[in-house]
Amino acid sequence: MSPTKIPVDLILNKLTEDVGKSQERILKSQDVLLSPLDTSIATTPYEVVYQEDRVKLKYYRPARKGPIKTPLLLVYALINRETMLDLQPGRSVVQNFLNDGVELYMIDWGYPSRKDRYVTIDDHVNGYMDNVIDFILRRHKLPKLNLMGICMGGAFSVMYSALHPEKVKNLITTVTPSNFDTDKGLLHVWMKEVDADLMVDTYGNMPGDFLNLGFLLLNPARLMIDKYVGFFENMDDKVFVENFIRMEKWIFDSPDVPGETFRQFIKDCYQKNLLIQSKLELGGRRVDLKNITMPLLNIYGRFDHLVPPEACELLTSRVGTKDTEDLCLNTGHIGIYVSSKCQREFTPKIFGWLKERDESEPVHAEKATVSRLPRAQKVAAKGRKTPMASS
C-alpha cells in the first residue's frame, strides 16, 4: 500500500501566502472599523399614529399617490423586530412599497415586559390587531384594508382574516407557517419535544436571547462559524462591514415573547397543529379557515430552514376562497425580504397582485359580522400556483 501523498509543501506555501494577505486585510480593516460607519437600520421616516400599551402603529406616507387606494397593513412576528423590512436603503420592502405609492402601516409589537406575560394570542389578534385595523379603517373611511403578515405575524393575519373577514380585502402571507405537522424544518421537530408549560412557568416571558440561541443552534456550522469567517475575509470592505453590522443589529435585537402567547403557539400550533385543521380557538371562537373568503397570495422560500415550504403550502387549499396563489421563491427565510434578487421580485409581485384586485373589487361600506358572512361572497376562482417563480 503506497503512503498518501499530500502536497504539504504546496499547501503550506499557499497558507503562508494567505496569512500574508490576511495580515494586509487586518491592517486595512483597522481603518474601516475605526472609521465612522453607517450601520443605522429602519431609517425610512414614519409617524406613530396609534398606540396601545407597548404596541405602536407606524404610518409611512408615500411620496406620491399610487394606483392602489386601499392601505396595506404589515404585521410582523413577535420574534425579532419589524425593522427587518426596512433594513437598509436599497434593500427595504417598506421603501419599495412607498415608491409604488402604497399607503403603508406597520405594527411595532414593542418589547414585552414581565407584565405582558399573560397576554395571549387572542389578545394580539382580537385585541391589538383588531383595534389597529379599526383605527386605520376609521382614518381612511374604508370598510376593508389589505393585510400582509410575516412569519408568526402571517399566522396571526390568517387567524384574524378567519375571524374578521369583513375587514380584510386581500390577504398576503409571507413565510407563514400554517401546517406545523412536518419534520422538514428542525424547528418543527424540536418544538414537538419542548415542554411549553414548564418553560413558560419558569421563564414567564420567553427570553429573546434564549430563543436566539436556539435559532443559532439550528445551523451552528453556518451561523456560528462560517458567517464570522466570511466577516473576517471581508472586513476591509466598508460597505460589507456596514451591511453585516446592520444584519447583526437586527438579528440580536430580540424582544421577549409573552409567555401565554408562546405557550399557546407551541402547544396549539407546533404540537397539535390546530390552525390548518380549523380547530384552533381564540377567545372562545373557532378559527375556521373556510371563513377566509378574500383573495390570498401565499409567498414562501424554497430554502427556508425555519418555515419550510411544507409548512406553508397547504394553506391555499384549506381556505374558503379560490382566488389563491402560491409563490415559492428560491431563497431562505430572510432572503425573501433582504436579498437584492428578491427585492426585484417580491414587492413588485405583491404590488401587481394587489393592483389587479384593488381595481376589480368595488369598495363597499356595509359591515358584516363573521356569522353573517355569506359563502357565496367568494371571488372568481383562480387557484394558481407559481413554483420556482424566481428562477
Partner 1 sequence: MNQDSQDKSAMDSLMAAWMKSATDFWTSAPKMWSFSSDASTAGSGDSQGFEAQGSGRWQNAFKIWQSLFSTLSNPEAMEAFFKGAGATPEIFMKISRTGMQGYAAFYQQWLKKAGKLAQPEKAYHFENLDENVFNAWKDLYEKEIQPFLNVPQLGLARSYQERVNETLDRFNLYQVQLAGLLRMLYLPLEKSARVMEEKLEEHSRDGKLSENFKEYYETWVKVLEGHYMTLFKSSEYLEAFSNTLSANENFKLAQHSMLADMLQSLPIPTNKEMDDLYKEIYLLKKTVKEMAKKLAQQETSSRSSRDAAV
Residues serving a catalytic function are: 151
Instruction: Please identify, among the stretches 4-12, 74-82, 86-94, 139-147, the one whose residues bind partner 1 according to the rule CB under 8 A.
Output: 4-12
Instruction: Please identify, among the stretches 55-63, 195-203, 294-302, 316-324, the one whose residues bind partner 1 according to the rule CB under 8 A.
Output: 195-203
Q: Is 25 in the site for partner 1 (CB under 8 A)?
A: no
d(CA 73, CA 115): 27
Residue whose entry in the numeric block shows the C-alpha cell 359580522: 369
Q: Is 21 in the site for partner 1 (CB under 8 A)?
A: no
Residue whose entry in the numeric block shows the C-alpha cell 503562508: 16
Q: Is 14 in the site for partner 1 (CB under 8 A)?
A: yes
Least Å distance, CB 91 to partner 1, is 26
Instruction: Please identify, among the stretches 29-37, 59-67, 183-191, 377-385, the one whose residues bind partner 1 according to the rule CB under 8 A.
Output: 183-191
What does the buried/exposed string (b/e) look like for 277-301 if buried means 16 or more CB atoms within 10 Å of the residue's CB? ebebebeeeebbbebbbbbbbbbbb
Q: Nearer Cβ to partner 1, position 101 or 214?
A: 214
Distance of CA 211 to the CA centre of its chain: 16
Residue whose entry in the numeric block shows the C-alpha cell 486585510: 25
Q: Hey, what's the cell of 141?
A: 373611511
What is the β-pairing status of strands 145-150 and 72-75? parallel
Q: Is 365 in the site for partner 1 (CB under 8 A)?
A: no
Instruction: Please identify, among the stretches 42-50, 157-165, 190-198, 315-323, the one whose residues bind partner 1 according to the rule CB under 8 A.
Output: 190-198
d(CA 75, CA 130): 12
Q: Which residues, numbered 226-255, are part of the site for partner 1 (CB under 8 A)?
A: 226, 229
Percent of residues in the chain assigned helix, strand, coil, to nearest 5: 45, 15, 40
Q: Nearer Cβ to partner 1, position 151 or 187?
A: 187
Q: Hey, what's the cell of 338?
A: 433582504
Residue from the set 6, 63, 365, 380 that interacts with partner 1 by CB under 8 A: 6
Q: Is 117 in the site for partner 1 (CB under 8 A)?
A: yes
Least Å distance, CB 378 to partner 1, is 28
Q: Is 118 in the site for partner 1 (CB under 8 A)?
A: yes
Residue from the set 75, 106, 119, 296 that interacts with partner 1 by CB under 8 A: 119
Point out which residues pair with 257 in neighbouring strands. Answer: 206
Q: Is 183 in the site for partner 1 (CB under 8 A)?
A: yes
Please check whether residue 150 is in contact with residue 77, taking contact to mean a CB–CB distance below 8 angstroms.
yes
Q: Is 7 in the site for partner 1 (CB under 8 A)?
A: yes
Total chain residues near partner 1 (CB under 8 A) = 39
- Altogether, the residues listed in the chain come to a count of 391
Nearest to 259 by CA among 119, 386, 380, 388: 119
Q: How far is CA 10 from CA 13, 15, 354, in A?
A: 5, 8, 59
Residue numbers at the binding site for partner 1 (CB under 8 A)? 4-7, 10-11, 13-15, 18, 114-115, 117-119, 123, 127, 183, 186, 189-190, 193-195, 198-199, 201-204, 217-222, 225-226, 229
